Amino acid sequence: MAENIPLELGTERVGKLLKQYAMPAIIAMTASSLYNMVDSIFIGQGCGPMAISGLALTFPLMNLSAAFGTLVGVGGATLISVLLGQKNYPVAKKVLSNVFILNVLVGLLFMTVALIFLNPILRFFGASDATLPYARDYMIPILIGNVITHLYFGLNSIVRVSGHPQKAMYATILTVTLNTILDPIFIFVFKMGIQGAAIATIISQFVSFVWIMRIICDKREFLHLSRENFGLDWGIAKRSLAIGLAPFLMNVASCFVVIFINNQFKRYGGDLAIGAYGIVNRVVFLFLMIVMGFNQGMQPIAGYNYGAKQYDRVLEVLNLTIKCALIVTSACFIVGMFFPRAAVSLFTHDEELIGLASRGFRITVAIFFIIGRQMVISNFFQSIGMANKAIFLSLSRQLIFLLPFLAILPIWFGADGVWFSMPASDLAALVVSEIMLASLKRSFRREQEAAAGLPVAEAKVNE
C-alpha cells in the first residue's frame, strides 16, 4: 500500500501512534519555547528588570511579524505539499520562488513601516518613558534582520514538507543552540545589553538561513530554487495569500489581546507588572507548547479514525492525549503554586519583580491542573474536521471570555484583576468545551447504536 494512505492509523496501538506522531512536534515546540525563555533569562540577568518589561512589550510586535510570516509561509507550504504529492515539480518550483520573493517583499515592508513608526507603535503597545529605550534597542536589530527571519522560517517550513523533516528540525536546533551560545557573549562579554541579545538572535537565524539556502538551492533535489523561472507569479501569490489570510487574522487578533493585557497591566500595575507578565508568559509557554505538541500528534490519529467511523479509537486517543496534557499542565500548576519564586528567580534578582511575577504566576496557573482538558478538547474538534466548533472553542478561551474579564476585573482588583482574568476565562472556556464534548459523545453513541441495529430515538445523527 502506498505511503500516502496511513492505514496504520486505523489498526496500530493508539499509545504507540501518539508517541510516534507527537514526539517530533514536541521536540520542535519545546526547542522554540526554550529559545524564547533563554533569551529572556539572559536579558533579565544581564540588563535588569526594566529590560524584562521592555522585552515583554515587544512580544506583540514580534508576534505581528510572525503573523506576516505565516501569511506567506502557510500558503506556500500548503501548495507545495499538494504539488509534490502529484510530482508536479515545475509548478512547485514556481511556488518556491514565489515564497522567496514574497517573504522578501513582506519582510521589507514590515521592517520599513515598523522602523518608521517604532515609537508610536511601542507607546500604543504600552511602553513608558522608562521601558521605551529597552524596547527600541531590542526591536531595531530585530527589525533590520526581519527579512532574514521571514526567509528562514518560510523556507524552513518548505524544507519540512518537501521530504526533509529532519533537516528542518536540525535547522531549528542549530538556531536555538547558537543563540544560547551567542546571547551571553553579546550581553556579558561585549556588554551590548538588550541590543546584544537581539543581534545574537539575528546572527543565529542568519547562520541557519544560510544552511537552509544550501539545501533549497541543491540542484540534485527535485524541488530547488533556480535562476531560471525565478519570478513572482500573481496567480500563485494570490492563492497562497488567500490560504494564509485566515491564520494571519487569527494571529493578529491574538496580538491585540496581548496588547490589551500589557496596557491593562501598565495602567493598574505599572511597568514592572508588564515585565512580570513577560516572565510568567515565558515559563507557562514552555509547558503549554508541550501540550500543543501532544495535540499535533493527536490530530491525524483522531482525524483518520473519525473518518473510518472507529469511534472507540477516536475516544481512546482523545482520552490518552487528555491524560498526557493533564500531566504537563499539572506539572506547571505545581511549579507555579509551590515554587513560583524559584522559577521566576531564573529571570531576575530584583525583589519587587520577583514578588510581582510569583504572585502572578500563582494566579495564572490557578486551574492548570484541569486546563489541559480544554486545550485538548478544542483541538480535538479541529482534528475531526468540525472547524467551526474548534474555532469557537479557541476563541472562547482567548478572546470571547478573556476580553470582558480583562476590561472589568481590574476595576475592582487592580493588577490582580488582570491576572485573575486568565484563570477565569480558562474556567469558563473549560465548561463550554465540556458541554460540547458531552454532546459529541452522545452523538457517537447514537450512531454506534444505529449501526448495531438498535432502535434510535432520533433519525438524524451527527449533524
Per CB under 8 A, which of residues 235..274 are in contact with another protein? 236, 239, 243-244, 246-251, 254, 257-258, 261
Q: Which of 38, 64, 77, 324 binds another protein (CB under 8 A)?
A: 77
- How many residues are listed for the chain in this entry? 463
Find the distance separating the first CA and the last CA of the chain, reported in whole Å: 33
Kindly tell me which of 66 and 144 has the beta carbon lying closer to another protein.
66
Residue with cell 484583576: 417
Range in contact with another protein (rule: CB under 8 A) among 3-11, 45-53, 118-126, 182-190: 3-11
What whole-number distance in Å separates Cα of residue 382 and Cα of residue 440?
Answer: 13
Q: Find out whether 417 and 432 touch, Cβ atoms under 8 Å.
A: no
Q: Which of 18, 26, 29, 314 binds another protein (CB under 8 A)?
A: 29
What whole-number distance in Å separates Cα of residue 75 and Cα of residue 164?
Answer: 18
Q: Find out whether 322 and 55 touch, Cβ atoms under 8 Å.
A: no
What sign does the CA torsion over 388, 393, 394, 396 have? positive
Q: Find out whether 357 and 56 touch, Cβ atoms under 8 Å.
A: no
Kindly tell me which of 186 and 304 has the beta carbon lying closer to another protein.
304
Q: Which of 49, 73, 145, 410 binds another protein (CB under 8 A)?
A: 73
Rounded to a whole number of angstroms, the minimum distance from the CB of residue 35 to another protein is 8
Rounded to a whole number of angstroms, the minimum distance from the CB of residue 153 to another protein is 5
- In order of 332, 359, 377, 441, the CA distances from 369 in angstroms are 8, 17, 15, 23
Kindly tell me which of 194 and 236 has the beta carbon lying closer to another protein.
236
Q: Which of residues 300-339 bind another protein (CB under 8 A)?
A: 300, 303-304, 306-309
Q: Find out whether 422 and 428 touch, Cβ atoms under 8 Å.
A: no
Q: Which of 14, 17, 18, 21 binds another protein (CB under 8 A)?
A: 21
Q: Which of residues 271-290 bind another protein (CB under 8 A)?
A: 281, 284-285, 288-289
Rounded to a whole number of angstroms, the minimum distance from the CB of residue 129 to another protein is 26
What whole-number distance in Å separates Cα of residue 423 and Cα of residue 432?
Answer: 14
Q: Which residues contact 389 (CB under 8 A, 6 or more apart)?
A: 381, 436
452 binds another protein (CB under 8 A): no
Q: Which of residues 387-426 bind another protein (CB under 8 A)?
A: 387-388, 390-391, 394, 398, 402
Show the site string, 156-195: x = touches another protein by CB under 8 A, - = not. Answer: -xx-xx----------------------------------
53 binds another protein (CB under 8 A): no
